[in-house]
Structure 1
Amino acid sequence: MKIIPVIISGGAGTRLWPVSRESYPKPLLKLADGESLLQKTFKRATLFPEVPEVVLVTNRETYFLTRDECQEINDSQIPLGFVLEPFGRNTAGAVASAAYWIRQRHGADSVMLVLPADHLIEDLNQFKAVVETAAAAALDGRIVTFGIRPASPETGYGYIELDAGQGREGVHPVVRFIEKPKLDVAEAFVASGIHLWNSGMFCFTAGSITEEFAKLVPDLLQACERSVDSGSEATSSGCRSLELNAEEFKHVADISIDYAVMEKSDRVAVVPSNMGWSDIGSWHSISELTPPDSQGNRIYGDALLHEVSNCYIKSEDRVVGAVGVKNLIIVDTPDALLVANRDNTQDVKHIVGQLKKAGHDSYRIHRTAHRPWGTYTVLEEGDGFKIKRIVVKPHEQLSLQMHHHRSEHWIVVSGSATVVNGEQTIQLQPNQSTYIPAGHKHRLINPGVIDLIMIEVQCGEYLGEDDIVRFEDSYGRAS
């Protein structure tokens, strides 16, 4: 049985700010063992024999980061396919687009295993067993979801009520889906034995799910099909990518697959399990992954404590001192600090909302921003100037570009650089520099086998990242 995993890797993860940002979303968050949530999802998605391809649904801005994360651990060299959304349209659009693309290339009988990229699962043997059960049911035409036997009356999860009397071989018909309940209702669900947490994972054939989309939300499916058919396909670094057509994708309704299909279809079944599933949805749930000390504190990074209890402190760059506090979540990054009560970590999204309304960059990007060619870090900025540390990976290059409102000074710190500056092409070695006036076409290339590290000093009346005109680009970003 061939299974095609489809990993949905999108969403800013606003409750995990300030580490999660729009340009560095929740699935890329690294855990204590150094692996990201996305990498853990990729590893369990490829536990099965004969996986012909792993398909990832993400967006253009995070494509290269997502690709690099997967390639780093893709020891078996399983082919990777990427469906690139021009903007978010919830899970129905993501799944419908991926299903139509997979059906075209692998056939209607292809078994799709749809996994969010930001969950954790502890028992991989149980996970593998229930997926194989679900895949067999999918080949019989069922639309299968995975239910988790509740360990506690969680009010932050949706629930699935199963028909216990009609189950066979671990697969049960679904009676109904229930939105996040109040505490007393959740307590009754845990006691009932027939209510499961809704994991947001699914299994079906490409043919079955497109049939259900066509029956239940035909306009959505047709918009997705047009987005795929008129999209742009490319192959680079051994990966196939499909960039959905933005004009057509605008017509895709912004709804979840639960609302579009699962709550309405008469083909839906659920496989219950105890796989150690966790939706990493807040800093409280992240903190529970780190063993506590004798005072109940969980520390990730460098922290000094005095009379502190039941706190989670994460800081990778600076020392955090805490005195006389308890029940706090403290997360420090180079440009933003979060201090929250443990009981209110679900409300971090409101801070992100305020930052977004104010147009503050920290809801969107980190001081260190990732690009397909490497990274840049904003070291200092003020009225009329900005200083960056730029790292270009070996044999990579920035786009041929121009800025209207700023000039730039480039100083090479290590490695070597080939610089296109107007009509000139020059070579720079460490401690050498060049000046690029506003309005000049320019490009930075690393011709060497080690990282190129340089300092960029920008001067001008406007220093926003959107002051850029691209003429040529190796990564498909030029207009």
Structure 2
Amino acid sequence: MITPVLLCGGSGTRLWPLSRKSYPKQFSSLLGDESLFQDSARRLSGEGYAKPLVVTTNDFRFIVTEQLAGAGIEADAVLIEPAGRDTAPAILAAALHLAQSDPDGLMLVAPSDHVIPDADAFSACVHAAIPAAQEGQLVTFGISPDRPETGYGYLELDAAPTSDLSALPLKAFVEKPDAETAAQMLAEGRYLWNAGIFLFSVPTILEAFKAHAPDLITAVDASINAATTDLGFIRLDPEAWASADAISIDFAVMEKADNLSVVPFAGRWSDLGDWAAVWRETQSEGVSLSGPATSIDCENTLLRSEVESQQIVGIGLEDIVAVAMPDAVLISHKGRTQEVKQAVIALKEKQAPQAEAFPKDHRPWGWFESLVIGDRFQVKRIVVRPGAALSLQSHHHRSEHWIVVEGTARVTVDDDVKLVSENESVYIPLGAMHRLENPGKLPMVLIEVQTGSYLGEDDIIRFEDAYARD
């Protein structure tokens, strides 16, 4: 059995404004009804695969479990990184964790935001790599390039690969090239895109870390040994984790090792690294439309609206990307979408909340969004999942009115507990202890009207919380 290790702690700023620090691209439904994370988990499930091991951050832990449940997949474990340290410490933590339960097992490490439409073909490549991994090889997967791409690293082979599915010797890693070099490598046929997907046995990768990055072993092993369990999540020890270098698996191990193999994959693949990549995956006759979008005489253009009531119309556009969100709009030349991360940096310098905060604030119990914000009031839509409950809390600076518009809420206000149905409302006085629960089997939706001198999310005093938040 192969244990998939899904890495999903990144922020994906080059797909702003859809992807943001608080809700990055792997959890978004960019290409269909399911998220990229759900697609990745489903692709690496079924015959031959064990339950996945997920490595993520504290902010995404409940999103991970909710989306896995939505895909009908149960995780073997969810490891919580105290802070982002790039891929090497994350992969090492997964290997050390698996060493406790499956010390000779195989682990397939994959980012959770890639697009691979032909899951069966990719699975065939994975199984073709098993013999090499069992023989002590560090196997990576290379994508057969179809254009001179400058946004990817490459894998160099001794000769052009054949159509046979087998692991080949890997000659060298090649950093992202310039356009002229990328064109030369494409013409030679000996180079593959580096997908950042790996298959190896637990003993092989641990030996590689001991040989090439021994300092990481000390820090990450201490973090695993001092880990705590919280609501089923495994929290790595933050003090030990802080001493681990932030470094990629390529720099820490792969580029130093001599037991490297690569299995070529000739199918479609994309890391959706920018909006131009999304355009390539979704365009029809040169135009990509998503949501309420209309194109009139446009060429090589992407138009996307994430708001049902917000129409986006392009007229006579060429090589343009336009993405409309409720709180931000991106317009870029299609050839410069790799620079979108510079927009995020600029917005952060201006202290604009849109730089990192997503319009929908996802919480363990559901989500909310602000509909209207005024000087001393705010109107929110709150959606609570079936069986979920907000914390028992109070506020120093605001009172609230709740109006249930779908479902039934169980509302606690100090010592009073009652059911509030559709079209009914309840008032929460300033300072009152209160809780909101959904006792039903369908999502419960309410409109909240806040009034007061300060309406920030940090004006919450929690007394009880099912999700162990501070």
- Quick one: which of 135, 150, 168 aligns to 2:145? 150
Rounded to whole Å, the distance in 2 between the matches of 1:280 and 1:368 is 22
CA 1:472/1:226 → structure 2, altered by over 3 Å: closer, same or farther?
farther
1:197 deviates by 1.0
Give, in angstroms, the shift of residue 460 of structure 1.
Answer: 2.6
Structure 1 runs of 4+ with >6 Å offset: 165-169
Residue 55 of structure 2 corresponds to 57
1:117 to 112, 118, 124: 112
Task: Quote the offset at 1:166 in angstroms.
Answer: 12
TM-aligned CA deviation for residue 338 of structure 1? 0.9
Give 1:69 deviation, angstroms: 1.8
**How far is 1:89 from its partner?**
1.1
**How far does the alpha carbon of each residue in 1:417-446 deviate from its partner, in whole angstroms, 9 at most, with x for none?**
222223333332333333333433321111
Using structure 1 for the length normalisation, give the TM-score. Answer: 0.92
Partner of 2:300: 310
CA contact (8 A) 1:394 1:446 kept: yes
Could you tell me how far 1:251 is from its partner in structure 2? 1.5
Distance 1:41 1:371, change over 3 A: same
Paired position in structure 1 for 2:135: 140
* Pairing of 1:253-402 with structure 2 (within 5 A): 253-293=245-285, 296-317=286-307, 318-402=310-394
Note the residue ranges of structure 2 that are not aligned, 5 or more in a row: none
Which residue in 2 is equivalent to 1:187? 183
2:442: which partner in 1? 450
After TM superposition, give the deviation of residue 95 of structure 1 in Å. Answer: 0.6
- Whether the 8 Å CA contact 1:52–1:79 is kept in 2: the answer is no
SS of residue matched to 1:411: strand
Aligned mates of 1:358, 1:208 — CA distance in 2: 47
Percent identity between the two aligned chains: 42
Give CA-to-partner distance per residue, 1:338-360, whole Å, 9 cap, x none. 11111111111111112222332
Indicate the SS of the match to 1:113: strand
Task: Describe the SS at the equivalent of 2:170.
Answer: strand
The amino acid of 2:407's aligned partner reads G
Q: Deviations over 1:388-436 (max 9, x none)?
A: 0111122210012233332222222232222222333333233333333
Q: 1:280 to 1:429 in 2, by over 3 A?
A: same
Q: Is the 8 A contact 2:305 2:324 kept in 1?
A: yes
Paired residues of 1:166 and 1:173 also in contact (CA < 8 A): no
Taking structure 1 as reference, are residues 63 and 357 closer, same or farther at Cα in structure 2, changes over 3 Å only? same
Distance 1:197 1:308, change over 3 A: closer
Partner SS state of residue 288, structure 1: helix
Q: Secondary structure, in 3 states, of the residue corresponding to 1:120?
A: coil
Structure 2 length-normalised TM? 0.93
Whole-angstrom distance in 2 between the partners of 1:302 and 1:78: 35
Mapping for residues 221-236 of structure 1, pairs under 5 Å = 221-234=217-230
> How far did 1:209 drift?
1.0
1:16 aligns with 2:15: yes
Task: Find the residue that maps to 1:277 and give its secondary structure.
Answer: coil
1:310 and 1:166, CA in 2 relative to 1: closer, same or farther beyond 3 A? closer
Amino acid at match of 1:8: L
Q: Which moved more, 1:161-170 or 1:422-431?
A: 161-170
Cα shift at 1:178: 1.3
CA gap 1:320/1:201 in 2 versus in 1, 3 angstroms: same
Distance 1:169 1:304, change over 3 A: closer
Name whichever of 112-121 and 457-466 sits farther off.
Answer: 457-466
Change in 2 beyond 3 A, CA 1:218/1:300: same
1:17 touches 1:348 (CA, 8 Å); kept in 2? yes
Name the residue aligned to 1:38: 37
Indicate if the aligned counterparts of 1:234 and 1:242 stay in contact, CA closer than 8 A: yes
Note the C-alpha offset of 1:72.
1.7
* Contact 2:157 2:171 survives alignment (8 Å): yes
Deviates more, 1:52-61 or 1:164-173: 164-173
Q: Secondary structure at the match of 1:462?
A: coil
Change (3 A) 1:388 1:166: closer
Separation in structure 1 between the aligned mates of residue 287 and residue 264 of structure 2, nearest angstrom: 34
Between the two proteins, the alignment pairs up a number of residues equal to: 467
Distance, in Å, in 1 between the alignment partners of 2:349 and 2:201 is 42
